């Protein structure tokens, strides 16, 4: 998350951490002997790799798992990420004093798991407004109580683990320690991604964590540590067995089936499948007969398609299969059903009453909808954006929801290019008034005429609506065209359709102030007076800039290759590999003077600015990958070299780390500027921060070496 870190108050030139999904920058180039004066043993190397694996694995698990039980974290994924980073930093700052904290880590972990399961916040009903419920029929805790407790306990867990990693660093030369640390982090990414691919539940994650703790504490394991780990595994096992639940790479998916007759909103139906995702009611699969009475909007698009012209249909957000079943019922000869979540599609395949996914006329694609549109060469008679509303963020570094890039004006133009001459595009959902106007206005711009609007029921203050546009000419059989206010469109640079305007919502501002306040207290307590950090102002600027570079990469690759978990994992691994490459260069090559490295970094940032990310979409996949990698990772590599050269000159490693940590936390706050400016502008902020780092380093260079 920052450009580097140090280890302890009495240890200089320690390499930085890779915190979870975010690289914490390069290591110094010093080759001083290990502080113990003794060569590090191979078991010590294995232990450091295991500790680094544990640290990354626990962070990723907490980010995913807490959001599945508290709806407030659906909008604040980076809340737990920042807590993790702050905790690791505190653990490093405390490594030179007192006893080792690693043995105590199971206790706050058990408290955190117990608290989240005892006081969840789940959305159980949207028929009569937003209704949140806790466990056992209780009312949920206020977010002003629940979220701070989760934040503090996460800081405590990660501080204990980070302290164990920091203490072990002293046995190695700095670059060797950092190389092992990166190796452990890479193994952690692969392991967690593998568990996601296998759709294993959190009890499996807990088993991995418990096994690592026992192995790392072998020979000094106490009963209370085993008890705390047993509580973690037991609680997550109970959660797994408590109901129909499956863990996709994106959600905790729960479902219920009603095989016999039921009444829904006073309408009798039968054989239904109700699905919730991350404690939010998400989809209900009805038979065709039930859809005709309960959800008539599914049938509206077919009014505007010429009879007998449904040779090819594309459904983006196919989910459990309602849209696919309706398309087949209207005689579609071939349906491409695109769904990002494999578990949702699998539930529909098994349990949808009409079994649409068993039809030979249906091709299933587990993929991001925008990515599929960019890759396919097929043209369609009908393209449907079918209720793609995830309420789930892409990653801890981004405010992107999984479907955001589907709703930009560039995406709507892409969809139009994939329509046949007489093809029709349609999208439907329950929209807030401003959102209905935004999407309708975008279709007006993309298709050159207002879309057809068909309204249905209201739900929780939202209006059910179907928006339809023909590729050429007026939409056939349309009774009402849109005539509302045209709002600023969502774009690939500013992919935030759910924001009424370019502003930072007060909800985010309040929690950002909380994070900054707690960070100041923790860093002050662990690192001493802030005035001692002034001499490392350049490291603080580097920390903020590097976090923003990471954010920009996550977002850029989400657009270019899809918002899938696999793409996300590749980006995180790519960042680690870029840092690793910089470490190897710093170890084996004499670096040029700082001004040359800063100039090269400025050139790489200028290139990234000159090549807008959407311009790469026109390239085939393989050239697009190499071009995107060069544009995105060159600044990261050079930024690591810049930091490496500066960090080897520090005189007080703990103070330097504190400054870098504060800079990283400020970078996490500055990320929210994208909600106002768009993501491309973050490159300007990054360049400004590195410019300030260069100027301040020159000023600091005039001080006596002993002062640094």
Helix 106-118 vs helix 42-69: crossing angle, to nearest 10: 10
Indicate whether 39 pLDDT > 70.
Answer: no
User: Mean pLDDT throughout 114-141?
Assistant: 77
Indicate whether 451 pLDDT > 60.
Answer: yes
The pLDDT tens digits of the residues spanning 368-381 come to: 888 899 889 999 99
Provide the pLDDT for residue 468.
96
Cα distance between residue 382 and residue 384, in whole Å: 7
428 and 509 fall within a common domain = no
- Average pLDDT of every residue of the chain: 82
Provide the pLDDT for residue 505.
85
Provide the pLDDT for residue 45.
86
Indicate whether 608 pLDDT > 60.
Answer: yes
Q: Which tokens belong to 134? A: 């806790």
SS3 515: helix
Taking the CA atoms of residue 350, residue 354, residue 358 and residue 360 in that order, the dihedral angle to the nearest 10 degrees is: -170
Lowest mean pLDDT segment, chosen from 1-15, 296-310, 486-500, 552-566: 1-15
Provide the pLDDT for residue 305.
92
Residue 1 belongs to some domain of the structure: no
Indicate whether 206 pLDDT > 70.
Answer: yes
Lowest mean pLDDT segment, chosen from 13-17, 449-453, 533-537, 610-614: 13-17
pLDDT band at residue 54 under the 50/70/90 scheme:
very high
529 and 459 fall within a common domain = no
Indicate whether 16 pLDDT > 50.
Answer: no
Q: What percent of the chain has pLDDT over 90?
A: 37
pLDDT band at residue 231 under the 50/70/90 scheme:
very high
190 and 298 fall within a common domain = no
Where in the sequence is the domain holding 362, given as residue range(s)? 286-389+409-470
The pLDDT tens digits of the residues spanning 647-683 come to: 666 655 546 666 777 788 788 888 889 999 999 999 9
Taking the alpha carbons at both ends of the chain, their separation in whole angstroms is 23
Which residue pairs from 235-241 have beta carbons closer than 8 angstroms and sit at least 24 positions apart in sequence? Answer: 235/110, 235/113, 235/114, 235/117, 236/113, 236/201, 236/202, 236/203, 236/205, 236/206, 237/203, 237/206, 238/117, 239/117, 239/201, 239/202, 239/203, 240/201, 240/202, 240/203
455 and 515 fall within a common domain = no
Indicate whether 22 pLDDT > 50.
Answer: no
225 and 297 fall within a common domain = no
Nearest to 526 by CA among 91, 11, 160, 7: 91
Among 420, 453, 470, which residue terminates a domain?
470
Provide the pLDDT for residue 5.
34
Indicate whether 26 pLDDT > 80.
Answer: no
pLDDT band at residue 3 under the 50/70/90 scheme:
very low
505 and 466 fall within a common domain = no
Most confident of 39-43, 188-192, 579-583: 188-192
Provide the pLDDT for residue 6.
30
pLDDT band at residue 344 under the 50/70/90 scheme:
very high
Nearest to 185 by CA among 65, 49, 64: 49
User: Mean pLDDT throughout 288-310?
Assistant: 89
Cα distance between residue 644 and residue 238, in whole Å: 47
Provide the pLDDT for residue 38.
44
Residue 323 belongs to some domain of the structure: yes
* Helix or strand run (H / E) with residue 329: helix 322-329
The pLDDT tens digits of the residues spanning 176-189 come to: 777 788 889 889 98
425 and 525 fall within a common domain = no
Of 13 and 479, more confident: 479
pLDDT band at residue 266 under the 50/70/90 scheme:
low
Cα distance between residue 32 and residue 177, in whole Å: 12
Among 421, 448, 470, which residue terminates a domain?
470
511 and 626 fall within a common domain = yes
Residue 81 belongs to some domain of the structure: yes
* DSSP string for 395-414: -TT---BTTGGGGSHHHHHH
Residue 505 belongs to some domain of the structure: yes
We report the CATH number of the domain holding residue 624 as 1.20.1250
pLDDT band at residue 301 under the 50/70/90 scheme:
very high
Cα distance between residue 708 and residue 700, in whole Å: 8
Among 418, 448, 470, which residue terminates a domain?
470
154 and 76 fall within a common domain = yes
Residue 633 belongs to some domain of the structure: yes
Q: Which residue has the tokens 């909600």?
A: 675
Cα distance between residue 624 and residue 561, in whole Å: 9
601 and 681 fall within a common domain = yes
We report the CATH number of the domain holding residue 313 as 3.40.50.150
Domain count for the chain, please give it: 2
pLDDT band at residue 174 under the 50/70/90 scheme:
low
429 and 520 fall within a common domain = no
Residue 90 belongs to some domain of the structure: yes
The DSSP letter of residue 480 is -
Residue 274 belongs to some domain of the structure: no
Provide the pLDDT for residue 183.
85
User: Mean pLDDT throughout 341-367?
Assistant: 93
Answer whether 654's CB lies under 8 Å from 527's CB: yes
Most confident of 65-74, 81-90, 436-445, 609-618: 436-445
Provide the pLDDT for residue 671.
86
Residue 679 belongs to some domain of the structure: yes
CA 264 from centre of chain = 35
Q: Which tokens belong to 7? A: 């280890």
87 and 142 fall within a common domain = yes
Provide the pLDDT for residue 42.
64
Indicate whether 127 pLDDT > 80.
Answer: no
């Amino acid at each position: 998350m920052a450009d580097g870190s140090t280890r302890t108050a009495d240890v200089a030139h320690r390499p930085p951490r890779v915190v979870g999904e975010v690289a914490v920058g390069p290591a110094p180039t010093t080759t001083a002997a290990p502080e113990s004066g003794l060569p590090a043993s191979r078991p010590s190397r294995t232990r450091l790799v295991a500790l680094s694996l544990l640290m990354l694995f626990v962070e990723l698990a907490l980010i995913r798992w807490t959001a599945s039980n508290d709806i407030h974290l659906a909008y604040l994924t980076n809340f737990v990420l920042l807590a993790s980073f702050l905790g690791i930093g505190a653990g490093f700052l405390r490594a030179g004093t007192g006893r080792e904290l690693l043995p105590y880590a199971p206790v706050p972990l058990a408290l955190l798991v117990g608290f989240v399961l005892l006081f969840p916040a789940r959305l159980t009903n949207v028929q009569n407004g937003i209704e949140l419920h806790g466990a056992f029929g209780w009312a949920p805790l206020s977010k002003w109580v629940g979220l701070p407790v989760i934040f503090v306990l996460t800081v405590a867990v990660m501080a204990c683990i980070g302290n164990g990693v920091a203490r072990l660093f002293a046995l190695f030369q700095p670059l060797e320690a950092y190389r092992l640390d990166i190796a452990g982090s890479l193994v952690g990414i692969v392991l967690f991604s593998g568990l996601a691919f296998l759709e294993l539940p959190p009890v499996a994650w807990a088993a991995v964590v418990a096994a690592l703790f026992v192995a790392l504490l072998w020979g000094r394991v106490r009963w209370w540590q085993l008890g705390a780990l047993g509580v973690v595994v037991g609680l997550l096992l109970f959660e797994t067995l408590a109901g129909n639940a499956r863990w996709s790479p994106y959600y905790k998916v729960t479902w219920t089936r009603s095989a016999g007759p039921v009444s829904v909103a006073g309408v009798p139906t039968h054989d239904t499948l109700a699905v919730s995702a991350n404690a939010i009611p998400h989809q209900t699969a009805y038979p065709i007969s039930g859809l005709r009475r309960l959800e008539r909007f599914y049938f509206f698009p077919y009014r505007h398609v010429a009879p007998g012209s449904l040779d090819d249909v594309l459904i983006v957000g196919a989910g459990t299969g309602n849209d696919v079943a309706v398309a087949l019922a209207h005689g579609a000869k071939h349906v491409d059903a695109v769904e990002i979540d494999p578990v949702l599609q699998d539930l529909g395949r098994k349990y949808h009453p009409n079994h649409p996914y068993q039809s030979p006329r249906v091709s299933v694609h587990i993929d991001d909808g925008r990515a599929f549109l960019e890759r396919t060469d097929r043209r369609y008679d009908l393209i449907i954006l079918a209720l793609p509303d995830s309420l789930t963020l892409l990653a801890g570094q981004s405010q992107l929801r999984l479907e955001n890039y589907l709703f930009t004006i560039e995406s709507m133009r892409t969809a139009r290019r994939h329509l046949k001459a007489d093809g029709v595009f349609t999208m439907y959902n329950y929209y807030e008034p401003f959102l209905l106007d935004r999407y309708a206005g975008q279709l007006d711009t993309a298709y050159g005429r207002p879309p057809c609007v068909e309204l249905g029921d209201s739900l929780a203050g939202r209006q059910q609506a179907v928006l339809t546009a023909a590729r050429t000419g007026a939409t056939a059989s349309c009774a009402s065209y849109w005539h509302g206010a045209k709002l600023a469109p969502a774009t690939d640079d500013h992919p935030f359709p759910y924001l009424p305007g370019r502003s930072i919502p007060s909800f985010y501002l309040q929690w950002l102030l909380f994070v900054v306040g707690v960070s100041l207290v923790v860093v002050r307590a662990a690192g001493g007076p802030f005035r001692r950090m002034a001499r490392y102002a350049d490291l603080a600027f580097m920390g903020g800039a590097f976090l923003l570079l990471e954010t920009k990469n996550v977002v850029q690759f989400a657009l270019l290759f899809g918002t899938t978990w696999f793409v996300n994992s590749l980006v995180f691994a790519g960042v680690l590999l870029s840092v690793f490459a910089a470490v190897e260069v710093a170890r084996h090559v004499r670096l040029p003077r700082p001004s040359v490295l800063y100039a090269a970094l400025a050139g790489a940032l200028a290139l990234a600015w000159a090549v807008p990310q959407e311009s790469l979409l026109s390239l085939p996949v393989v050239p697009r990958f190499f071009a995107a990698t060069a544009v995105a990772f060159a600044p990261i590599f050079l930024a690591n070299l810049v930091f490496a050269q500066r960090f080897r000159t520090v005189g007080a490693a703990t103070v330097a780390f504190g400054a870098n940590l504060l800079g990283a936390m400020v970078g996490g706050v500055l990320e929210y500027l994208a909600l106002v400016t768009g993501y491309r502008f973050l490159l300007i902020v990054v360049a400004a921060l590195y410019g300030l780092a260069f100027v301040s380093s020159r000023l600091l260079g005039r001080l006596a070496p002993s002062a640094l």
